[in-house]
Amino acid sequence: MHALWLENNKIDLRDILQPHKDNEALIKIRKAGICSTDLELVKGYYPYTGILGHEFVGEVISLTPSPSPSGRGVGVRAGDRVVGEINAVCNECEQCLNGRSTHCENRTVLGIVNRNGTFAEYTTLPIANLHRVPDSVPDEMAVFTEPLAAALEIQEQVQISPTDRVLLIGAGRLGQLIAQTLALTGCDLRVVARHAHQQDLLKRRGIRIISEEEIKPWRWDVVVEATGSPSGFSLARQAIRPRGTLVLKSTYKGEINVNFSSIVVDEINIVGSRCGPFKPALRLMESRQVDPTVLIMDEFELTDALKAFERAAEVGVLKVLIQM
The CATH number assigned to the domain holding 245 equals 3.40.50.720
Do residue 185 and residue 126 come from a single domain? no
How long is the chain?
324
Do residue 11 and residue 127 come from a single domain? yes
Do residue 71 and residue 103 come from a single domain? yes
pLDDT score for 103: 97
Do residue 9 and residue 71 come from a single domain? yes
Q: What is the mean pLDDT of the segment spanning 263-280?
A: 97
189 band by pLDDT with thresholds 50, 70 and 90: very high
Assign residue 53 the CATH number of its domain. Answer: 3.90.180.10
242: containing domain = 149-272
pLDDT at 67 over 50: no
pLDDT at 289 over 50: yes
Do residue 12 and residue 73 come from a single domain? yes
Q: What is the mean pLDDT of the segment spanning 188-214?
A: 97
> Alpha helices, DSSP H only, in 13-172?
36-43, 94-97, 139-142, 145-157
Do residue 27 and residue 122 come from a single domain? yes
pLDDT score for 143: 98
Do residue 95 and residue 127 come from a single domain? yes
Do residue 6 and residue 128 come from a single domain? yes
Residue 231 is assigned to a structural domain of this protein: yes
Q: What is the mean pLDDT of the chain?
A: 95
E strand residue ranges, the chain: 2-7, 10-15, 24-34, 50-51, 55-62, 81-84, 87-88, 108-109, 122-126, 130-132, 165-169, 188-192, 208-209, 220-225, 240-248, 269-272, 296-301, 319-323
Residue 49 is assigned to a structural domain of this protein: yes
Do residue 303 and residue 268 come from a single domain? no
